[in-house]
Chains A and B, each alone.
Chain A
Amino acid sequence: MNYPTFFDNTPSITLKDPLSDFLGTFEEGIIEFSYLDIVKSAGHSCPTVSGAYLSTVKALAALYSDGSTPIRGNIFVSFKADALEGVAGVIANVISQITGATEHSGFKGLNGNFARNNLMEFNAEIGSEVIFKRLDTGKTVEVTYDPSSVGGNPKMQELMGKLMQNVATPEEKKEFGKLWQNRVEAIFKNADKVITVKEV
């Protein structure tokens, strides 16, 4: 499995999962997710996937600014969009993989503990595209992701069109992939500019 080297240089996310601890899965429930983990599952690395990843990194840092480790199962996520709308599902999958929060699927709990369903909602009336809430303290943050300041190479559109019409040469296919991932890398480098987190 070969992939762009910048995947390994992006920040990872460490959480505690009480269910993992309970079932002897991870020592003290400590689980670490990397951008590579997310990309494997999503099936691709793109500005939407990296945006969802960075939104989660920043939102958890803000929610747990007391220095404690984020707890899977203790984070509720709301989306303004419908689950079927555009890339909402892609974003939701990324956030679900990291936080464990699901709408209907996932573990249903044991004696009232460890449930992972009913921790995600869509069509919420909120001020930003997505909000994260800590269930133990009620602390809530709005997250906005705007990658428009990180421009893509103008050649990308033209190459993408060629690829979709099956008229691209192998070199053009490779170049397109490279330019695409260059933009994703640039988004990571500008994480502080593209993500805004506001406590509400």
Chain B
Amino acid sequence: MIMNYPTFFKTRPTIKLKDPLQKFLGTFHDGIVEFSYLDVVKNAGHSCPDVTGAYLMTLKGLKALYKDEMPIRGNIRVSFNKEYTDEITSVMADVVSHITGATLTLGFRGVEGKFNRTNLINFNIPFEGDIKFERIDNGDAIITKYDLSSIPVDPKQDMLMSKVLNGEATQGEEIDFEVLWQRRVEKIFNHISELIEIKTI
């Protein structure tokens, strides 16, 4: 069995970070870790506009916070304005956690006060926008906002989706639905700069 997926998963910008814990334990040379959209999709178990949005907000958010430097895992605090049980928030939080290493309770608790990855994600923090990223070393912070209303949903998509969910779709309709769904995700990737807004605070 081979893993097959839409080709755009692998051709999109990746996110490179440094992880001091990786370096300490001889895992990655210089602690450099690279994440692709494919990586987060595997973990999330699906590719959808929410997973894409979280990936792109992390990509853009870290770029804004670190400019030309490499972002440091464990040095990034992440906040959401909703509860962690909120449907979209929890999917997005998992994506951001996967990339930045930040976790609420799970994750590494540190060695002698170093490398702790817990208590780095906060929920229910009031702010305007979707995800807040904060650098612990210098306090710089930005808020990312994701608005995909300019990327229309194909009118056929919802109809096909309910057919598939109700087990009434033909094989051809199932494939049509899958193609339409991923085509929208690909379109989102093609319009990153229009869809993600970054506000420095």
Is B181 touching A23 in the complex (CB atoms < 8 A)? yes
Is B105 touching A181 in the complex (CB atoms < 8 A)? no
Is A107 touching B91 in the complex (CB atoms < 8 A)? yes
Which residues of chain A (134-193) have a CB below 8 Å from chain B?
Answer: 163-164, 174, 176-178, 180-181
Is the CB of A196 closer than 8 A to any CB of chain B?
A: no
Is B46 touching A25 in the complex (CB atoms < 8 A)? yes
Is A105 touching B45 in the complex (CB atoms < 8 A)? no
Assembly CA distance A96 to B181 (angstroms):
25
Is A31 touching B45 in the complex (CB atoms < 8 A)? yes
Assembly CA distance A100 to B101 (angstroms):
17
Given contacts A69-B1, A177-B24, contact A25 B164 (CB under 8 A): no
Residues of A close to B94: CB separation below 8 A:
102, 105-106
Residues of B close to A41: CB separation below 8 A:
39, 43, 98, 101
Which residues of chain A (15-37) have a CB below 8 Å from chain B?
Answer: 17, 19-20, 22-28, 30-33, 37
Is A43 touching B45 in the complex (CB atoms < 8 A)? no
* Shortest distance between the CB of A38 and any CB in chain B (Å): 10
Residues of B close to A2: CB separation below 8 A:
28-30, 32
Residues of B close to A17: CB separation below 8 A:
45-46
* Nearest CB in chain A to that of B104: its residue: A105
Which residues of chain B (36-57) have a CB below 8 Å from chain A?
Answer: 39, 41-48
Residues of B close to A89: CB separation below 8 A:
103, 105-109, 118
Is the CB of A39 closer than 8 A to any CB of chain B?
A: yes
B3, B21, B73, B165: which contacts A30 (Cβ < 8 A)?
Answer: B3
Is B21 touching A23 in the complex (CB atoms < 8 A)? no
Assembly CA distance A17 to B46 (angstroms):
8
Of the candidates A1, A69, A178, the one having the most CB atoms from chain B within 10 angstroms of its own CB is A1
Is B103 touching A181 in the complex (CB atoms < 8 A)? no
B87, B93, B111, B112: which contacts A108 (Cβ < 8 A)?
Answer: B87
Is the CB of B35 closer than 8 A to any CB of chain A?
A: yes
Which one, A58-66, A110-118, A125-133, is touching chain B?
A110-118
* Shortest distance between the CB of B17 and any CB in chain A (Å): 9
Is A180 touching B26 in the complex (CB atoms < 8 A)? yes
Instruction: Number of A interface residues at 8 Å Cβ cutoff, please give it.
Output: 62
Is A25 touching B103 in the complex (CB atoms < 8 A)? no
Residues of B close to A105: CB separation below 8 A:
84, 90-91, 93-94
Residues of A close to B47: CB separation below 8 A:
20, 23-25
Residues of A close to B48: CB separation below 8 A:
23
Is the CB of A97 closer than 8 A to any CB of chain B?
A: yes
Is the CB of B33 closer than 8 A to any CB of chain A?
A: yes
* Nearest CB in chain B to that of A12: its residue: B3
Is A24 touching B6 in the complex (CB atoms < 8 A)? yes
Given contacts A90-B107, A93-B107, contact A180 B25 (CB under 8 A): yes
Given contacts A43-B22, A105-B84, A163-B24, contact A25 B107 (CB under 8 A): no
A4, A27, A84, A176: which contacts B105 (Cβ < 8 A)?
Answer: A84
Is the CB of A198 closer than 8 A to any CB of chain B?
A: no
Assembly CA distance A44 to B32 (angstroms):
11
List 29 A-B residue pairs with CB atoms under 8 Å apart, sorted by A's residue number.
Answer: A1-B29, A2-B30, A14-B3, A23-B48, A23-B178, A23-B181, A23-B182, A24-B6, A24-B177, A25-B6, A25-B41, A27-B4, A30-B3, A30-B4, A32-B3, A37-B42, A41-B101, A69-B1, A83-B106, A89-B105, A89-B107, A93-B103, A97-B43, A102-B90, A104-B90, A110-B165, A111-B165, A114-B45, A180-B26
Counting from the closest, the 8 A-B pairs by CB-CB distance are: A177-B26, A24-B178, A89-B106, A2-B29, A27-B4, A105-B90, A25-B47, A45-B27
